[in-house]
Amino acid sequence: MRRWTPRYLVLALVAIILLALPERLAVVLKRPVREVLYPVQSGTTRIFHRLRETVAMVRGIGGLAARNRKLQSEVAWLRLRLRQLERLETENRKLREMLRFTARTGYDLIPAEVIGREASGWWSTVRIGAGSEKGIQRGAAVVTVDGLVGKVVEVSAHTADVLLLSDPSAYIPAVVPKCEAYGIVKGTGLPPEMGPTCEMEFVHREARIATGDEIITSGLGGVLPRGLLIGYAEQVTEAEGGLYQRVAVTPAANLDALTYVLVVERVSGGGSSGGQ
């Protein structure tokens, strides 16, 4: 900056002198002065253009940022819409499976949506959005296309509570059809990662049960119809005292992912004697 200060002072002085000179003499001297001033004027003009370009660029960046925010908002909306469509497709697939299941069974089934779970325990009960006005009665079996879920324990006009297989207070008369070994299936209250969610108790000690054998409702007691698939034998152990066997059971239905269920209203023609 210091190198340029004397030059600017000289130019300013020259300009003052030109203004004070007579017109003819000033005309003669203006030409060389213009030549001297050209670099300064040219540099100033370039600086002005660059400043204007910089301002335009900054404004453009601001516009790009606004457009970017708008695009991000549109992408977020499209992702949300895609998830909604995927959820609807999943629900439609499940409903189609339920319709096919209803058509091929001998049961009169009432479809219902799961609208809630008991807050005090994930494994105890679920609430469905159908009740006595739809023909649902206490004690009715509740199934999915995969297998038995539980049974209805409370009914109101528009809702019903279903006690799940995995609840310790759920007692389901059951049988292993391969060897006609009878017993009672009850819940353990444990999540799958901590142990079997269900067990079949009071199985005759001489019954030959293998891993993977089907376990179905026996129909004894007249509470649930025979033939509803409960699950599969996972492990067989000897009960205390050696009088009976205990069978760890893997439920056929996914109890922690229930969205729609079917309530068995009544049995047509006695139901099935095998699994589902």
Percent of the chain at pLDDT > 90 equals: 39
Read off the pLDDT of residues 206-232 as tens digits, 9 standing for 90 and up. 999 999 999 999 999 887 888 899 999
Using the structure block, give the residue that is written with the tokens 């056929």: 252
Model confidence band, residue 5 (pLDDT cutoffs 50, 70, 90): low
**Amino acid letter, residue 238:** E
Whole-angstrom distance, CA of residue 259 vs CA of residue 146? 13
CA-CA-CA-CA torsion for 27, 28, 32, 35, nearest 10 degrees? Answer: 40
Model confidence band, residue 148 (pLDDT cutoffs 50, 70, 90): very high
* Mean pLDDT score across all residues of the chain: 79
Question: Where exactly are the structural domains of the chain?
Answer: 1-81, 105-267
Percent of the chain at pLDDT > 70 equals: 69
- Which conformational region is residue 222 in: left (phi greater than 0), alpha (psi within -120 to 50 degrees), or beta? left
Greater pLDDT, 178 or 82: 178
CATH architecture of 105-267: Beta Barrel (2.40)
Q: Which of 14-28, 36-50, 158-172 has the lowest mean pLDDT?
A: 14-28
pTM for this model (two decimals): 0.62
Phi, psi of 93 (to 5 degrees): -65, -45
Which residue in 150, 269, 268 sits closest to 217, CA to CA?
A: 150
* pLDDT, average across residues 19-23: 59
CA distances (Å), origin 190, targets 93, 124, 198: 30, 11, 8
Read off the pLDDT of residues 88-110 as tens digits, 9 standing for 90 and up. 777 677 667 666 666 566 678 89
Helix 5-20 with 23-104: angle, nearest 10 deg:
130
Q: Are 168 and 217 in contact (CB under 8 A)?
A: no
Tell me the residue length of the chain. Answer: 276
Alpha helix (H) residue ranges in 149-234: none
